[in-house]
Amino acid sequence: MIPERVQLLVIGAGPAGLTAALESQKTGQSTAVVEKDPTYVGGISRTVQYHGYRFDIGGHRFFSKSDEVTRWWKERLPDDFISVKRMSRIFYRRKFFDYPLKPWNALSGLGLFTSIACVCSYGWARLFPIKPERSFQDWVTNRFGKRLFSIFFKTYTEKVWGIPTNELSADWAAQRIKGLSLSSAIVNAFKGKQKKKGSAVIKTLIDTFQYPRLGPGQMWEKAASDFVGQGGSLEMGARATKILHRDGRVVGVEIRWADGTVRTVEAEHYIVSMPLRETVLAFDPPLPEAAREAAKRLSYRDFLTVALVVEGENPFPDNWIYIHDPSVKLGRIQNFKNWSDALIGRPGTTCLGLEYFCFEGDGLWNSPDDELIELGKRELAQLGLARAEQVKDGSVVRIEKAYPVYDPGYLERVDTIRRVLESAARNLQVVGRNGMHKYNNQDHSMMTALLAAKNLHGGRFNLWNVNSDAEYHEEAKESPDRSGRLMPDRLSR
């Protein structure tokens, strides 16, 4: 049972929480971690186990530009990383297209008449561009034409965010698809990638990437084991329900277990990775109304994974496939056999992870597991990727608050919360993706935790300055990385 008082209390056993806990142990601090999930550590970087199969939630390549994070990974699992060949494609009308898009591959796969229509549409967009470029749809249409936009950008983007593309910010498109247009892609196809004099090409594991043999959860299962083995206290199925504070400091956290047990744990310092909205609303007495209202207006996108055991020949060689077919709800498919054979419980089978993007509480989220498994089987067959009778088993995992949404005004809301926390809770630090309502990758979340641990011993690091990638690098970049990875903004009317 967790002690009544420790030097550091960490809320959440995801990458940020466990990293902070292990780092604090190095200095001899008594540390406890509470995690609301009764079974799994790792947050969205967990690896779920089902009937001998292990499957990833969302797909996690292990790559970081931070040497400190890379060393941390390698020290934890020195002999368990494997090199995985990277392959991902777009699936549209029963055909595969390279991802990232390559013009000749895209146009040849679409057929003669559709290709001609795409080229004509592109020419029209160049002659009569949409001005001003307000939306994601405007920005992409001006650079690819309306026809290619509809085929390769519209459907998947709307599946992921649940927002029409004509209501998403053009700024997000400019960041995510920086420097890309049909004409530049064609020119680059002929010229090849030109390295500017004096510039450094960032290696982003285009052809291969590192991956724990038993999935990303292996990293966090090992981290949790190390933490407990070194004297730390880890409580699973324990939810932080109240954050008690007075005179500008947190004085305790009320913890509630699934059996109804409630206890208050006191600490000198607190590191919190649970969703920022929940953190703010848990304060007792309540924080100022401005902070509470800002927290209530923070929003999230959720998703669920339907994992299907498929018997027979491996249906495709990709790690994951983006589904651009508007006739199905399915957004993306992972093939876990192509990540690591060790994830597969029985020879002659594979496990496919079908990802559906949704909002917590909507019809898809609330559907019974058996209906979701049938939906997955039906849509796999409809797409021609596997026959329904090949599916021998299935499991469903729901992931709430997978993506913090950057809607209009979110920066102002987060800033309001930051300023209030700085005065009301000087011994509390928020870390990680949901803890900071910041679209961090796994390594960025870990870096906020590493710096938070250093702050406990005299460091003066501003965790909010930890940079997230301006764009998710799928190809080598010659330009320097920029801070502030964007998420789509809904346009104000």
CA 297 to CA 75: how far, in whole Å? Answer: 40
Q: What is the pLDDT of residue 335?
A: 97
Using an 8 Å Cβ cutoff, are 391 and 213 in contact?
Answer: no
Joined together, the tokens standing for residue 99 give 């991802």
pLDDT(188) > 90: no
**How much is the average pLDDT of 32-44?**
97
Q: Are 313 and 407 in contact (CB under 8 A)?
A: no
pLDDT at 179: 56
Confidence tier at 482 by pLDDT (50, 70, 90): very low
Q: What is the pLDDT of residue 403?
A: 87
Query: Above pLDDT 70, what percent of the chain?
Result: 87
Strand ranges in 273-404 using DSSP code E only, listed in sequence order:
283-284, 300-311, 320-323, 332-335, 349-358, 391-404
pLDDT tens for residues 136-177? 899 999 998 999 999 888 999 899 888 888 887 776 666 556
Q: Which two tokens stand for residue 261?
A: 């047990």
Q: Residue 267 and residue 68: Cα distance in Å, rounded?
A: 28
| Two tokens, residue 176 | 């995510």
Residue 441: per-residue pLDDT: 86
pLDDT of the residue at 341: 97
Domain ranges of the chain: 5-46+62-78+212-297+407-461, 102-191, 300-404
On the 0-12 / 13-18 / 19+ scale of CB atoms within 10 A, 382 is middle
Q: What is the mean pLDDT of residues 244-261?
A: 97
| pLDDT score at 380 | 96
Q: Inform me whether the pLDDT recorded for 195 exceeds 60.
A: no
Residue in 110, 118, 119, 163 with CA at minimum distance from that of residue 137? 163
Contacts of 55 (CB under 8 A, 6+ apart): 47, 48, 215, 305, 307, 334, 336, 343, 351, 353
The pLDDT of residue 411:
85
Per-residue confidence at 199, pLDDT binned at 50, 70, 90? very low
Residue 260 clears pLDDT 70, i.e. is over it? yes
pLDDT tens per residue across span 96-136 = 998 877 777 888 888 889 989 999 999 999 999 999 988 88
Angle at 439 between CA 258 and CA 149, to 5 degrees: 125
What is the pLDDT confidence band of residue 204, given thresholds at 50, 70 and 90?
A: very low
- Count other Cβ atoms within 10 Å, centred on residue 340: 18
Confidence (pLDDT) at 200? 41
Rounded distance between C-alpha atoms, residue 474 and residue 453, angstroms: 31
Query: What confidence score (pLDDT) does residue 359 get?
Result: 94
Architecture (CATH level 2) of domain 5-46+62-78+212-297+407-461: 3-Layer(bba) Sandwich (3.50)
* DSSP-derived 3-state class of residue 428: strand
Which residues make Cβ contacts (< 8 Å) with residue 446, sequence separation at least 6?
Answer: 15, 16, 19, 69, 72
Confidence band of 181 (pLDDT split at 50, 70, 90) = low
Quote the mean pLDDT of the chain: 88
Range of weakest confidence among 58-62, 234-238, 266-270, 403-407: 403-407
Least confident residue range of 87-101, 314-328, 390-404: 87-101
Q: What is the dihedral of CA 248, 253, 254, 256, to 10 degrees?
A: 150
Which CATH homologous superfamily contains domain 300-404? Protoporphyrinogen oxidase, mitochondrial; domain 2 (3.90.660.20)
Per-residue model confidence as pLDDT tens digits over 293-332: 999 999 899 999 999 999 999 999 999 999 998 899 999 9
3-state helix, strand, coil in the chain (%, to 5): 40, 25, 35
Instruction: Say if CB 298 and CB 416 are below 8 A apart.
Output: no
Q: Which of 303, 287, 492, 302 is nearest to 410 (CA)?
A: 492
Using 50, 70 and 90 to split pLDDT, how confident is the model at 440?
confident
